[in-house]
Structure 1
Amino acid sequence: MMELKQIEKSFSAGEVSEQVLKGVTLTIESGKLTALTGVSGSGKSTLLSIAAGLQSTTSGSVLFDGRDLTSLDQEELRALRAGSFGFVFQSSHLVPFLTAAEQLELMLKTSGRKLSKKAAAAEISRVLTRVGMEHRRNAYPDTMSGGEKQRIAIARALIHQPKIVFADEPTASLDSKRSHDIMKLLKDITTDTGTAVLMVTHDEEMLGYADRVVEMRDGLIG
C-alpha cells in the first residue's frame, strides 16, 4: 500500500537544527490498522504528516501506488490527498453550519469523485449507516456529543473511498467507552473494506485494536 524509506526530517530555527526523524523505514499494508506510539517528541506525528503528504521530508522517499510523494508538487499532492487519503484528528473539525449529511456531501465534491445526485445521496446514507449515524443525518455539530462528532468525522474520511485513513489521536478527547467505540469502528473498517489505517496514539489501552504496533523513540522505530 505505502512504503516509507529512510525518512529523515530536520527543523531549523536560526543556526539551530533539530533532527526529528533519523532514517525511518515503514510499510503500511492494506486492510491493516498500524498504530504509532511513543512518548511526546518521539516523531510519530511528524512521520504520519509526512506519510499523508502534509509535510515534506529532509530526505527519504514515500512510495504510494507507484509514485513518490516527495517528487510531487503541491497541486499533485492536494489531488492525491483529496482522492486517496482520509483524515481523522483529535478534534473532529466539522463545519459548524453544515449538517452531518452536508459534511459528507462537501467532501464528495472536493474529492473529485463523480456521482449523480441520487447516487451521492445513497452513498451518504450508506456511510452514515456504516458509522451508526444515519439517524443524525440532519443534525448540526453543536447538537452532537463528542463521540457522535468523531463518528461523522470518520464518515467524512470514508465517503470518497480512500485507500488509507490517517488518524492522529482520534480518541484523545473522548471518554473510555466512546474511545473503544471509535477504535472498534476503525478496526472494522480495515477488515470490511481493505482500507489501511495509520494511527498515532498515546493511549496504550487502544493498542489492542491494532494489527501492528510501531513504537517510536528519539526519531527512530524502537
Structure 2
Amino acid sequence: MIFKIDNVKKSYKNGEVTEEILKGVNLILREGELTSLVGASGSGKSTLLTIAAGLQPASDGQIIFEGKNLTSMNAEQVRKIRAHQFGFVFQFAHLVPFLTVEEQLLLMLDVSESKLKIREQKKEVDKILKLVEMDHRKHAYPSSLSGGEKQRVAIARAIIHRPKVLFADEPTASLDSKRSKDVMTLISHLTKTLNIATLIVTHDEEMLSFADHIIKMSDGQILQKV
C-alpha cells in the first residue's frame, strides 16, 4: 500500500444548509494497480480524486501517502509532493500550443524540479516518448496532432518525472471508442511497467475492463468494491 484515503469527508455551506459531498470514504491504492472510480454525475468521484491529489482540502479524514499525512501538511509541503510524486491526466490534453512535444515534457521536468542535467533530461524524454509510441512526433506542435496523439503526449508529460501515483479524470471522455481503448491500454501498461498506483475517474463502462479494481460511488459513498 502506497496511498490511503481514510474516512474522507467533504461538505460545503450553502446558506443555512450543509451539503455533504463525501460521507466518509475509505480507499487504498497499491503500486502497479489501476483503480477505476465510477458513478453517476454528482456521486462525488471527481471531488474524491481532487482531494486525494491535494488539489483541494478535505473537511475531515486523512490522505496518507507513503506513511505521511497530507492533510496535516501546509500548502507548500503538499505542492512539493504533488509536483514530485504525483502525475495528472485530464479529459483534455491542455498542451501548450507554442511548445513542441519534446518541449512539453522538458517543461514538466522543470516544474517537477528535476535534478537531471539537460542532456540527461532529453534522454529521459526520448525514453518516455518511445514508451507512449510518440517518439516519431518529438518535434511536432500540438496543432498537428490528432486527439489520440495529444492525449498520449499528455500521458507522457504526466509520467516523465516518474511519479508514484497517477490521477486521471475522464482521460478518454473526448476520444472515440478506438482511441479510448488505445489510451486505456497505454495507461494500464504504464501502471504495470513503471509500478505506478493509478486512480482513474470514468463514466465509460467499456473502460472498466482495464481496471484491477472498480469502485462504484453514489451520493458521496462507496457502494461496491470489485
TM-score by length of 1: 0.99
1:104-119 residue pairs with structure 2 within 5 A? Answer: 104-119=105-120
Aligned to 1:14: 15
Aligned to 1:163: 164
1:81-120 residue pairs with structure 2 within 5 A? Answer: 81-120=82-121
Structure 2: which amino acid aligns with 1:16? V
Structure 2: which amino acid aligns with 1:164? V
Q: Does 1:220 align with 2:221?
A: yes
Structure 1: which amino acid aligns with 2:16? E
Aligned to 1:151: 152
Count, aligned residues: 222
- Alignment partners' CA distance in 1, 2:95 and 2:199: 21
CA offsets per residue over residues 108-157 of structure 1, 9 Å max, x none?
Answer: 01101211111111000000110010111111111111100000000000
- Alignment partners' CA distance in 1, 2:222 and 2:139: 44
Range that drifts further, 195-204 or 11-20: 11-20
- Alignment partners' CA distance in 2, 1:15 and 1:112: 44
- Alignment partners' CA distance in 2, 1:16 and 1:103: 44
Identity of aligned residues (%): 55
Aligned to 1:52: 53
- Alignment partners' CA distance in 1, 2:155 and 2:105: 10
Give the superposed CA RMSD: 0.7
Using the TM superposition, give the Cα deviation of residue 190 of structure 1 relative to its aligned residue in structure 2, in angstroms. Answer: 1.3
Structure 2: which amino acid aligns with 1:145? S
Residue 200 of structure 2 aligns to a residue in which SS?
Answer: strand
Using the TM superposition, give the Cα deviation of residue 30 of structure 1 relative to its aligned residue in structure 2, in angstroms. Answer: 0.7
Structure 2: which amino acid aligns with 1:102? E
- Alignment partners' CA distance in 2, 1:67 and 1:39: 31
The answer for unaligned runs of 5 or more in structure 2 is: none
- Alignment partners' CA distance in 2, 1:46 and 1:180: 25
Residue 121 of structure 1 aligns to a residue in which SS?
Answer: helix
- Alignment partners' CA distance in 1, 2:152 and 2:13: 37
Residue 27 of structure 1 aligns to a residue in which SS?
Answer: strand
Using the TM superposition, give the Cα deviation of residue 14 of structure 1 relative to its aligned residue in structure 2, in angstroms. Answer: 2.4
Aligned to 1:128: 129
Range that drifts further, 108-117 or 207-216: 108-117
- Alignment partners' CA distance in 2, 1:191 and 1:67: 24
Q: Runs of 4 or more off by more than 3 Å in structure 1?
A: none
Using the TM superposition, give the Cα deviation of residue 161 of structure 1 relative to its aligned residue in structure 2, in angstroms. Answer: 0.2
Using the TM superposition, give the Cα deviation of residue 203 of structure 1 relative to its aligned residue in structure 2, in angstroms. Answer: 0.1
Using the TM superposition, give the Cα deviation of residue 88 of structure 1 relative to its aligned residue in structure 2, in angstroms. Answer: 0.1
Structure 2: which amino acid aligns with 1:32? E
Residue 17 of structure 1 aligns to a residue in which SS?
Answer: strand
Residue 171 of structure 1 aligns to a residue in which SS?
Answer: coil
- Alignment partners' CA distance in 2, 1:160 and 1:193: 11
Residue 97 of structure 2 aligns to a residue in which SS?
Answer: coil
- Alignment partners' CA distance in 2, 1:15 and 1:207: 39
Q: Does 1:190 align with 2:225?
A: no
Residue 163 of structure 2 aligns to a residue in which SS?
Answer: coil
Using the TM superposition, give the Cα deviation of residue 15 of structure 1 relative to its aligned residue in structure 2, in angstroms. Answer: 2.1
Residue 20 of structure 2 aligns to a residue in which SS?
Answer: strand
Residue 57 of structure 1 aligns to a residue in which SS?
Answer: coil
TM-score by length of 2: 0.97
